Chain A
């Protein structure tokens, strides 16, 4: 296999809300084809980091560099940023489907905005994306009429609407039963392999992050820094940091300091 191409390079990223520091000096690289896990305890800023990566929040310091651009994402002019953002797909924690549109319309909206496809083609594509997440036949349903797990899958279908290079997932398996969550993991792997997409996932579901993760960062809310990075399985085997081990073993190996 050839040397990995860096897809996202984050260097010295500091995140803060006003004077409240969330995380500082984060530096890591997400390679093409990675399933990159952002992990850490609740409230340590995982979702905030994701928001910085997708361009919803401006970093206090540091840069986020995407493959193919010369300057960091936030150093670009807004009109340069837009084509970069168009290559992203984001699955929000609770789906964030537009409630006044049907599922098919939710998927069709980005297609209608950014492609010149005919209405019939867009309809076919929307049906395809829904079929890929196992929701065929639900085209005409409104988000309020389907269950939470279905909303999540529909959200994934919308995230995939424009065939993105990079998919961002915010807690994909939260609120799903173990089997659905396992199926979603399989789907993520399948999408990575067949579409060649790069995937960034925020999660603290241990089963899921061991199953799919090929690289990761571990955020520590106390020191407000990243304290580990690498493949989650390897971290479990090799890390000597009690905080990381405690997290990865649910504090059951007795290594965690109370």
Chain B
């Protein structure tokens, strides 16, 4: 068959043959490429295990056409088995390249203690590990908040160092850059609130009170919450990804070696920017939300525009506005803190940046909702 067409490589094959002097000859033939299914080492291992143990192993590669790494892995397996059984190998029959690569593959011994066993630790150990790492994460977060606070104090004493142009850029990016999406979302939330309210209030003929519902709802809570959630997704995520990538590229280490505190240089301007921009975004979201209610009130419920306006002015007290704005600046600090914290404590790989960004957004949104609940309850207790 081989004579009929010499250009087509023969299928790879491995023959095991017991020699009369107690040795074993392995005959390799055909093309051993990775695209073929290669013969398994099983038959050789069986032969090695059979009594009496072979006195040596020799190779005949006269018919071997081409070879790739698959051959090497098989030979290494056989060699491992041979050395554990004390059977000597006579590699003379193998092609030169194969012999050299085999030597190379075993030239550098495995470093002691490098290999890891894949066994899973017992349940209690895992629980303990998880507890310790959670506790460490809490400590790390508290540490970060403390440092941020100290950095804020340095700012007021005029000792914090950061570039004003960075700060202005962040202000622009998280303030003006969020205008479009904040307008759209708040307008729609206002519309939805008005719609849902209108259907209920119409039953009592009290459509006019849609203005109160939307006004108080948006100004006191929803404006701040919606702006907060949008900014978490936009700006919080971008802080985490940016600082995380800086961590991966050792840029944060570079700042530290220059004696510039990353806290002052990176975190402070971000916190400051969000703290300033969030109340403005919140006011804007309030306005857009009320506008959404206005659209439903005027065009669907036929309330005269002036009446809707007066009704809203009468319903919303200055207190409500202050509560909303106060909440939003709290959110600003929370978003900047979680985003920067996740970014700065990011691992040194691409996937770690992904994890940092995800957890910045998740922690940000959770903390916003929790903060809203706490502030709302406190306001109720105080009676404002």
Which of A's residues lie within 8 Å of B, judged by CB?
Answer: 98-100, 111, 115-117, 121, 124-125, 127-129, 131-132, 134, 136-144, 160, 162-163, 187, 190, 193-196
Contact = CB atoms under 8 A, between A and B. Distances in A.
A190 B349 CA distance: 32
B356 to A, nearest CB: 13
B112 to A, nearest CB: 9
Contact of A144 (B68, B100, B347): B347
A164 B70 CA distance: 13
Contact of B97 (A121, A132, A136, A194): A194
Nearest to B73: A124
Contact of A132 (B70, B104, B110, B116): B104
A100 B350 contact: yes
B4 interface: no
A190 B350 contact: no
Most buried by A among B77, B104, B115, B347: B104
Interface string B106-130: 1110110011101000000000000
Nearest to A129: B69
Given A121-B73, A128-B69, A136-B105, 19 more contacts: A98-B350, A100-B349, A117-B34, A117-B70, A124-B76, A125-B70, A136-B108, A137-B115, A138-B115, A140-B116, A142-B349, A144-B352, A160-B69, A162-B34, A163-B69, A187-B104, A194-B96, A194-B100, A195-B97
B38 A121 contact: yes
5 contacts: A132-B101, A137-B115, A140-B116, A190-B101, A196-B97
Contacts of B38: 121
B34 A140 contact: no
B348 interface: yes
Contact of A131 (B70, B98, B106): B106
B104 A140 contact: no
Contacts of B73: 121, 124-125, 127-128
Contacts of B350: 98-100
B34 A163 contact: yes
Interface in B334-380: 347-352
Contacts, number: 85
Contact of A137 (B100, B107, B111, B118): B111
Kindly list the 10 A-B residue pairs having the minimum CB-CB distance in the complex, ordered from nearest: A99-B349, A194-B97, A100-B351, A134-B108, A137-B114, A137-B110, A124-B73, A163-B68, A137-B115, A131-B105
Contacts of A131: 76, 105-106, 108
Contacts of A144: 347-349, 352
Given A124-B73, A124-B77, A111 B34 contact: yes
A41 to B, nearest CB: 26
B101 A194 contact: yes
B69 A190 contact: no
Interface string B67-103: 0111011001100000000000000000011101100
A115 B68 CA distance: 13
B6 interface: no
B7 interface: no
Contacts of A193: 97, 100
A128 B76 contact: yes
A144 B104 CA distance: 26
A190 B104 contact: yes
A87 to B, nearest CB: 12
A145 B257 CA distance: 22
A129 to B, nearest CB: 7
A127 B33 CA distance: 18
Contacts of A143: 349
A138 B110 CA distance: 9
Nearest to A143: B349
B211 to A, nearest CB: 53
B35 A115 contact: yes
A128 B352 CA distance: 29
Nearest to B41: A124
A193 B104 CA distance: 12
B37 interface: yes
Contacts of B69: 125, 128-129, 160, 163
A190 B351 contact: no
Contacts of A137: 110-111, 114-115
B31 to A, nearest CB: 12
A132 B105 contact: yes
B262 to A, nearest CB: 20
Interface in B45-71: 68-70
Contacts of B108: 131, 134, 136
Contact of A190 (B100, B111, B118, B348): B100
Nearest to A100: B351
A230 to B, nearest CB: 27
A194 B76 CA distance: 16
A152 to B, nearest CB: 15
Contact of A136 (B37, B110, B347): B110
A5 B222 CA distance: 73
A194 B104 CA distance: 10
Contacts of A196: 97
A131 B111 CA distance: 11
Contacts of B100: 190, 193-194
Contacts of B351: 99-100
A132 B349 CA distance: 26
Contacts of A98: 350
Nearest to A196: B97
A57 B348 CA distance: 28
A224 B252 CA distance: 38
